[in-house]
Amino acid sequence: MAPALCCNCKTERALIKRPKNHAKLCKACFITIFEDEVHHTINSSQLFHPGEKVAIGASGGKDSTVLASVLKTLNERHGYGLELVLLSIDEGIKGYRDDSLETVKRNAVQYDMPLKVVGYDELYGWTMDQVVETIGKKGNCTYCGVFRRQALDRGAKMLGIKHVVTGHNADDVAETVLMNLLRGDLARLSRSTSIVTGDSRSEVKRSKPLKYSYEKEIVLYAHHKKLDYFSTECIYSPEAFRGSARGLIKQLERVRPTAILDIVRSGEDMARLVPGESPSSCACKGQKSAVVPSLEDDIGGCASQNGRTPGGEMAAMDKQLRENETHEAVEVDVARAISENKAGGEKEKALPIRSSHGTSRGPTRQVLGNCKRCGYMSSQEICQACMLLEGLNKNRAQIQI
Amino acid sequence: MADASESATIPITVDFSGGLEMLFDNKRRHSISLPATDVGGKPANIAFLIDHLCRNLMKDPRAELFVFDGHIRPGILVLVNDADWELEGEEAYEIQPRDNILFVSTLHGG
Amino acid sequence: MVESKSSEPHLRLCLKCRVQEATLDSRSQPVCRDCFTKFISTKCIKQIGLLGKETRPPPPSSGGGPPTGTRHYLLGLSLGVSSTVLLHLLNENVEFQLARGRNVPFDLTVLHIDTTTVTPSSPSSPVPLSPPHSAAKKSLEAYRAHYPRFTFLNLPLSTALSTSTSTSDPHHHSGPNPASNPPWPHSSSSTTAAGTAASRSDVTRHLTRRALQTQARARGCQALLLGHSTTALAELTLAEAAKGRGFALPWVVGDGPATPGLGLGGDGDGDGDGDGDGDGDGDGDGNGNGMGQGDKERDRLLVHHPLRDALRKELVIYAGLVEPPLTGLIQADKQDEGPVVSHKDLSIEEVMARYFAEVEENYPSVVANVARTTGKLVRAGREGGGESCGLCGLPLDEDGDERWRGELGIQEGSGSPTATRLGRLCYGCERSTVG
C-alpha cells in the first residue's frame, strides 16, 4: 500500500486517521488541528476569562496529562492569561499512587506549573487502603469515586481556586450518556452532557475542555508529542469489560468511528427533550442555559478509570431497578424513586450508589443545597461522601469493639 | 517440519503501552523474531503477529484484555511504524523486517 | 421423611398456579408452561387493548350512522421470532373473541418487506428490481397456511415505498423512490460510509420502516404493529443514540402517532377519511406529541409495539412452547452469533444485539428500564410544522444542528451538508449516507 499523504499539508506522510471524519493527517498537522479544536471548544463555550486561576485535575494519566499540555500550549499561543495549577488527589493506595504521583511531579516540572497534592486521609480521615480493609474490594470504586469528586473541589477551595478542569473526553461523555439511558436517569442525562457544571452559587466551577476529543486522539497526541504519562489498572478495580458501557463504546467505534461523537450529540439533543428542561441549551445563544448545577455525581468513576464505570455498576443497577419494580410498579426516574423510597424510612442499602435520605425535590432539576455535615454542595441533606463516611465510621467502631 | 522457508524469521520490535505492558512481562519493548510465514505458508501479517504474541510472548493469563472474539480488543490502537494501522490495511498488513509495531491501550488509566 | 426428602427437591411447583410443575424460569420465578404462555399473551393483549381504545374503527363505507366498521391494522412481519410471535398472539386474540361470540376485533394485513433486493453489495452497483425473493415467498406461503384468517403480502422494498397499492406495477410511482435511487453519492470514493455494513443496514432499516408506514396509510390502516420486544426496543434506543439520532428517539421507540406525511408524493386514497373529530391524541403518555393541525385524519397512523413488555428470550421460549411450535415458520436469524469476521464488519444493530443478549441474561431489569425511560422524553419537532428528513422522515433538528456546528467548528475534509434528491437529511441519516 503506497503511503498516504496528509490531506492537510499534502506533503508529509499521513500517520493518523481521524475517527471523527476519516481525515488522514501527518503528525504535525494532527497536533496543530487537535489543539485548534480544543481552542475552538474553549472559545465557543467561553470556558475561561483572562486572569482566571484554573486547577487542572491531574492524575498522571493520559487524559489529564494531555489536558495540561494542551492548556499550557494554548494559554501561551492565544494569550488566555490563565494561571494554571496542577491539582492531584492521593487516594492512599499503596503502590498505585506512588508511581502516578511521581509522573505528576515530573509534569509539574515539565510544564512549569505549581502542584498541589491532597490526600483522602486529610480530607476524610480514611485512605482507600483503609476503606478496602473495612469493606472489602467489592464496591470500593464507589467510595473512591465519590470521595474523589469532592476532593478536587475541596482541594481547589484550599488553593483559593474557583475553576477545576478535568480530562474527561468524548468517550467518557458518551459512556455516561449510555449509562444514564440504561439507568433510566433523565435528570443526570441532561446534566452529564454539559461542558460546564456548577453555577454562580457553587463555589467551584467544573469544566471539561476535552469533551469533544476522542480518547483515541488523546492517546495519539500523547504518543506523538512523547508526553510523559502513567498508565496502570487501579489494583482494586475489578476487570469488568463484559457488559460495561465502555466496552460497548469501543466496539461501536470500531464499527463506525463517528459513533462516539454521535452519542455525545444524541445526549445533548435528548437533554433538551427531558420534560421540564429548557428547550434550548445552546451555548452560543446564552451562556446561562449551558451552565447546569454540578452535583457530586455528574460523571462516575475512579482515578484510574476516569469516568468509566466500575465493573459492579450493571449488577448494582439491576438490583436497584428490581427493588423499585417491586416497590412502586412503574417509576421511571430511578434516582428519584430511590430517594422517595428512602424518605419512607428505609435502611441503608449495601451499595448506596445514588441513595441518600431524600429531601423532596422537583422532577428534573435537583434543588441544590449544602450538606449539613460538611457544607459541600449537595442535592441532599447529607452529601454522598458524608453518607459513605458514616457507614465506614460505624464499621470501624464495630471492628474496634 | 524444519524446511528452510518455515524456519525463516523476520526481526521486528513490538512495543506495548497504555497498560498493556503488564500483560507482557511488564516490559515495554520486545525484540522478536517472527516466523516469516504462517502455518499455511502465507506471509506473516498483523493478524498472525497478534496470534503469535498471545501464544508465545504473553505472560499473563488474561488474554481477553488483549484480544476479543479472535481479534484485537476494540479500544487498543495499533501503530505500524508510527502510522495508524487503519492506514496500512489493519490485520492484513504484511510485516516487513525491522518493522516496529506498537500496541497502545486506551482502556486504562485516566 | 425419606420420601419427602427425595421427591421434594426435584418437583418445583409453579409459583403462579401452585399446581403444576415449574419447568421454566421466568424473571427469576419458577413457573409452569401454561402460566408462562399466559404471562406472555396477557402482556400482549393488554397492549392491544390499549391500542383499541386509541383507535376508532372507520365509519361505514356509505351513509352516516355509528362506526360499524372494523379496525384495520398492518403488521410488519420480518419472519423473525418476535413478529411471528406477535402474529400468533393476534390470531389467538381474534379466535378468543370469536369463540365468545363477539365481533372480529380487527382486520389484519401482514406485510413482509423484502429487503434482499435492495441492499446493494456496493454503492456503485445498480439496484436490481428483481421479483420478491423466493425464500421469503415460500415462507409466507407457510404463514398463510398457518393463519388463513389474515391477508399476507410480500413486497420488495422498492415497490412498497411507492404509495400505489397496486403491487403489479413497480413503475407506477409518484415521487422519488429512495430505494431504487439510493441517496448516497454514486461517484464518491470507495470509502464512503454507505459502503460499510453499518451504513447499508441503517439505510435499509429506515426505508423498511418508512415503507411499512406508507403501506399502512395507503391501505387505510389505523395502526402499524411492530414486533419489538423489550430487548429490541432497548437495542433500538441505544443504536439510535449511537447514530446521533437521539433527537428523534421518542418517535421511534414510543407508541404513538407515526411521523406524519413523509413527503413522498400523493397519498393513496385511504378510506379512513371523513371521521370528523380526530381526537387530539397524546394524552396518556404525557408526551405532548400532538400532530400539526393541518394533518389529515388519514395521516393519523399509530405505531405500536404490543410486545414491548416481553423480553426477547421469553419470546424465543414462547415460540417453542405453543402447539405446534412456531419454530418451523421462523427464519433463522442471519446475524446470530457465529464467529466474528472482523469487529469492523458488524452493523451497529449487531453490536447492540450482542451487547443486550448478555445484559438481558444477567440484568433483565436494566433492559426493561431503557424503553421506559425513553418513553418519558418529549416528542420534539413537527409542532411548528418543521421539516422532516428526506430519508427517515423524522423531524429535523435545526437548533441542534446549528449548535453542534458551533461547538465543533468547521472540520477539515467534510463538505457542506448534503442536499440529496430526497431533500435535506437529518444528522443521523447524513452520517449513514455520507459518513
Check C408 against A242: CB less than 8 A apart: no
Q: Is B98 a domain residue?
A: yes
Give me the pLDDT at residue A97, please. 75
Q: In C185-206, which positions are buried (b, 16+ CB within 10 angstroms) versus exposed (e)?
A: eeeeeeebbbbbbbbbbbbbbb
Q: Is A267 a domain residue?
A: yes
Neighbouring subunits of B (3+ Cβ pairs under 8 A): A, C
**C205 within 8 A of C213, measured Cβ to Cβ:** no
Cα-based distances in Å from B13 to A124, B99, C353: 47, 6, 38
- The predicted-structure confidence for C44-94, as pLDDT tens digits, reads as follows 999 999 999 888 776 655 555 555 578 999 999 999 999 999 999 999 999
The Cα C187–Cα A62 span in angstroms is: 41
Q: Which three cell numbers stand for residue B27?
A: 516490559
Q: Which three cell numbers stand for residue C235?
A: 437495542
Q: Exposed, middle or buried, B104 (CB in 10 Å: 0-12/13-18/19+)? A: buried
Say if residue A33 carries a ligand binding annotation.
no
Nearest chain A Cα distance for residue C276, angstroms: 31
- Within 8 A of C339 by CB-CB distance, chain B residues are 69-70
Pair (A374, A250) in one structural domain? no
Instruction: Spell out the alpha helix ranges (H) of B1-110.
Output: 4-7, 46-52
Pair (A231, A314) in one structural domain? yes
Give me the pLDDT at residue C393, please. 81
Q: Is B2 a domain residue?
A: no
Q: Is A2 a domain residue?
A: no
Q: Which CATH number does the domain housing residue B88 bear?
A: 3.10.20.30
Q: Which residues on adjacent β-strands are paired with residue C151?
A: C109
Check C340 against B91: CB less than 8 A apart: no
Give me the pLDDT at residue A104, please. 94
Host domain of residue B92: 10-105
Cα-based distances in Å from C362 to A310, C28, C355, C356: 16, 11, 11, 10
Say if residue A401 carries a ligand binding annotation.
no
The Cα C150–Cα C65 span in angstroms is: 27
Q: Is B1 a domain residue?
A: no
Nearest chain C Cα distance for residue A334, angstroms: 9
Give me the pLDDT at residue A72, please. 98
* ipTM of predicted assembly, 2 dp: 0.91
Give me the pLDDT at residue C150, please. 96
Q: Is A350 a domain residue?
A: no
Q: Is B46 a domain residue?
A: yes
- Within 8 A of C338 by CB-CB distance, chain B residues are none
Give me the pLDDT at residue C61, please. 57
What is the enclosing helix (H) or strand (E) of A287?
helix A287-290
Q: What is the largest CA-CA distance in chain B?
A: 48
Give me the pLDDT at residue C159, please. 83
Q: Is B33 a domain residue?
A: yes
pLDDT tens for chain C, residues 1 to 435: 444 444 455 678 998 899 999 999 888 789 999 999 999 999 999 999 999 988 877 665 555 555 557 899 999 999 999 999 999 999 999 999 999 999 899 999 999 998 876 444 444 444 444 454 567 888 899 999 999 999 999 999 888 887 654 444 444 444 445 555 554 443 333 334 456 777 788 888 888 999 999 999 999 999 999 999 999 999 999 999 999 999 888 889 999 988 765 544 333 333 333 333 333 333 333 333 333 333 455 558 999 999 999 999 999 999 999 988 898 888 765 444 455 566 777 889 999 999 999 888 888 888 988 888 888 888 876 555 667 888 888 888 877 887 787 776 654 444 444 455 567 888 888 887 765
Q: Is A392 a domain residue?
A: yes
Q: Which CATH number does the domain housing residue A266 bear?
A: 3.40.50.620
Pair (A371, A325) in one structural domain? no
Among C342, C348, C354, pick the best mutation site for testing chain B contact (most B Cβ within 10 A).
C342
Give me the pLDDT at residue A373, please. 82
The Cα A264–Cα A268 span in angstroms is: 6
Give me the pLDDT at residue A264, please. 94
The Cα C257–Cα A161 span in angstroms is: 52
The Cα A35–Cα A12 span in angstroms is: 19
Pair (A134, A180) in one structural domain? yes
Could you write out the DSSP letters of every residue in C329-345? Answer: TSPPPTTSS---S-GGG
Mean pLDDT for B70-99 is 94
Q: Exposed, middle or buried, B36 (CB in 10 Å: 0-12/13-18/19+)? A: middle
Check A262 against C351: CB less than 8 A apart: no
Say if residue A333 carries a ligand binding annotation.
no
Q: Is B50 a domain residue?
A: yes
Q: What rounded mean pLDDT belongs to chain C?
A: 75
CA dihedral of residues C257, C46, C330, C182 (deg, nearest 10)? 10
Q: Is A10 a domain residue?
A: no
Give me the pLDDT at residue A324, please. 73
Q: CB of B69 within 8 Å of any CB in chain C?
A: yes
Give me the pLDDT at residue C395, please. 81
Q: Which three cell numbers stand for residue C42?
A: 396477557
Cα-based distances in Å from C71 to C15, C43, C54, C271, C279: 37, 20, 11, 12, 16
Q: In what order do the strands lie in the sheet with B9-17?
A: B29-35, B9-17, B100-105, B76-80, B83-84
**Structural domains of chain A, count:** 2
Q: Which residues of chain A have pLDDT under 70?
A: 1-2, 199-202, 232-243, 277-313, 325-368, 397-401
Check A251 against C355: CB less than 8 A apart: yes
Q: Is A149 a domain residue?
A: yes
Say if residue A298 carries a ligand binding annotation.
no
Q: Which residues on adjacent β-strands are paired with residue C31?
A: C24
Neighbouring subunits of A (3+ Cβ pairs under 8 A): B, C
Pair (A186, A258) in one structural domain? yes
Host domain of residue A40: 27-295+308-329
Q: What is this structure's pTM? A: 0.81
Q: Is A251 a domain residue?
A: yes
**Structural domains of chain B, count:** 1
Check A321 against C238: CB less than 8 A apart: no
Give me the pLDDT at residue C338, please. 54
Among C355, C367, C382, pick the best mutation site for testing chain A contact (most A Cβ within 10 A).
C355
Q: Exposed, middle or buried, C230 (CB in 10 Å: 0-12/13-18/19+)? A: buried
Say if residue A59 carries a ligand binding annotation.
yes
Q: Which three cell numbers stand for residue A100?
A: 502516578
Neighbouring subunits of C (3+ Cβ pairs under 8 A): A, B
Q: Is A341 a domain residue?
A: no
Pair (A289, A372) in one structural domain? no
